[in-house]
A and B are shown apart, each in its own frame.
Chain A
Amino acid sequence: MTTLRVRDLSKTYGSGEDAVHAVRGVSFESAPGEFLGLVGPSGSGKTTLLAMIGGLLTPTSGSIDVNGLEIGQLSGRQQAAYRRDRIGYVFQSNNLLPYLTARENLMVVRAIGAKGRGAAGQRADQLLEELGLTKRRNALATELSGGERQRVAIARALMNDPDLVLVDEPTASLDSARGKQVVKSLIEEVKGRGKLGIMVTHDLAMAELADRVLEMHDGELTRLREGVA
Chain B
Amino acid sequence: MGRGRRRHLRTYYGAAIWSRPAVVGAGRPDVAAEVFVIGLLEIRRRKVQFALITLVVTLISYLVLMINGLGVGLNEAAGSALRSFDADAIAYSDQAGLSVIRSELSAEVAGGIGEAAGAEESAPLGYVAANYRDSDGVVDSAAFLGFEPGTIAEPKVTGGRALEPGEDDGILADKTFLRASGLDVGDRVEVSVRLVRREFTIVGEIDEGQFFFQPAVYITRTAWQELKYGASGADVPFASVVLLKGDDLPGKRGEGFEAVSKSTAFANIEGVSGQQSTVTSLRVFGYVIGALVVGVFFYVLTLQKVPQIGVLKAIGASNFYVFRQVLGQVVVLAAIGIAVSVPLAWATYRALLQLPDAVPIAFTTGTYVTTCVALMVTAVIGALFSGRQVIKTDPIIALGQQQ
Contacts and interface: CB of A to CB of B under 8 A. Distances in A.
Contact of B315 (A129, A140, A156, A168): A156
A221 B46 CA distance: 46
B339 to A, nearest CB: 24
Contacts of A97: 38, 308, 311-312
Nearest to A81: B316
Interface in B314-332: 314-318, 321
Interface string A47-58: 100010000110
B36 A84 contact: no
Interface string B34-73: 1011100110011000000000000000000000000000
Contacts of A143: 3
Given A85-B316, A89-B315, A111-B38, A103 B396 contact: no
B237 interface: no
B317 A80 contact: yes
B311 A47 contact: no
A41 interface: no
A77 interface: yes
A185 to B, nearest CB: 18
Q: Chain B interface: which size bin?
A: 35 or more
Given A47-B401, A112-B321, A140-B45, A134 B24 contact: yes
Contacts of A77: 318
Contact of B41 (A91, A100, A134): A100
Given A56-B395, A122-B30, A140-B45, A112 B21 contact: no
Contacts, number: 112
B396 A51 contact: yes
A107 B30 contact: no
A112 B312 CA distance: 8
A160 B314 CA distance: 14
A28 interface: no
A83 B316 contact: yes
A108 B312 contact: yes
Contact of A108 (B22, B38, B395): B38
B36 A111 contact: yes
Nearest to B42: A99
B27 interface: no
Contact of A93 (B10, B396, B400): B400
B316 A92 contact: no
B316 A80 contact: yes
Nearest to A56: B396
A112 B318 contact: yes
Given A56-B396, A104-B36, A111-B36, A121 B318 contact: no
B399 A51 contact: yes
A89 B38 contact: no
A80 B313 contact: yes
Interface in B278-333: 308, 311-318, 321
Contacts of B316: 80-85, 87, 112-114, 160
Given A99-B42, A100-B45, A113-B321, A121 B21 contact: yes
Nearest 9 interchain pairs by C-beta: A84-B316, A83-B316, A99-B45, A112-B317, A121-B30, A93-B400, A122-B30, A95-B311, A119-B32
6 contacts: A56-B314, A57-B396, A83-B315, A92-B400, A97-B38, A98-B308
Interface of A: 47, 51, 56-57, 77, 80-85, 87, 89, 91-93, 95-101, 103-104, 107-114, 119-122, 125, 129, 134, 137-138, 140, 143, 156, 160, 168
